[in-house]
A and B are shown apart, each in its own frame.
Chain A
């Protein structure tokens, strides 16, 4: 699964720590998601979508191997 969090963060001018604060997780978690090391739970994905006011499908995209 790919995600566009890094790009969305740049668009909204947020740092990893600021985004982490908005969705109530640690900065390491955001970093792990961005570097594709961790797949967030549905709840967290929806929260991130809410922060960027975009549907989850536009932020998280399935890959061939999934």
Chain B
């Protein structure tokens, strides 16, 4: 429930410069160190992307680790296997991105990559469960 609206929002923030005005933040310049992007040093920022990514990650975590109706030891194992698979596939994707993508395109892809392992995990886990149940329903 959290994940879908926030996924739409993060795509809007990343692609179309969508920002909530009330999340604008600025403070008078005093001893600002422009080389340091840490929270206490920033001078102006809009926190839409921060808030939305936190909500998105929380939502994906809820989807990932909520219990199945018939949770048992085999499903737990399937979960772990899917997580391992997702991490491996994600690493391969990152390596491919490092080799083939450069400059701002690379940074964009890495921004999407923040929640890629979770999405891959959810996709694989649910696909396997879906096909298993479909196969079971037939005979």
Residues of B within 8 A of A (CB-CB), count: 9
Does more than half of chain B's interface fall in helix, strand or loop, or is it mixed? helix
Q: Say if the beta carbon of B73 comes within 8 Å of chain A.
A: yes
Which chain B residues (96-139) contact chain A, with CB distance < 8 Å?
132-133, 136
Q: Say if the beta carbon of B72 comes within 8 Å of chain A.
A: yes
Give A23 Cβ to nearest chain B Cβ, in Å.
Answer: 9
Contacts across chains A and B counted by CB atoms under 8 Å: 27
Q: Which residues of A contact B (CB under 8 A)?
A: 24-29, 31-32, 38, 40-41, 43-44
Docked pose: A43 CA to B70 CA in angstroms: 17
Docked pose: A27 CA to B70 CA in angstroms: 9
Q: Are B72 and A27 in contact (CB under 8 A)?
A: no
Q: Are B136 and A29 in contact (CB under 8 A)?
A: no
Residues of A within 8 A of B132 (CB): 28
Residues of A within 8 A of B136 (CB): 27-28, 31
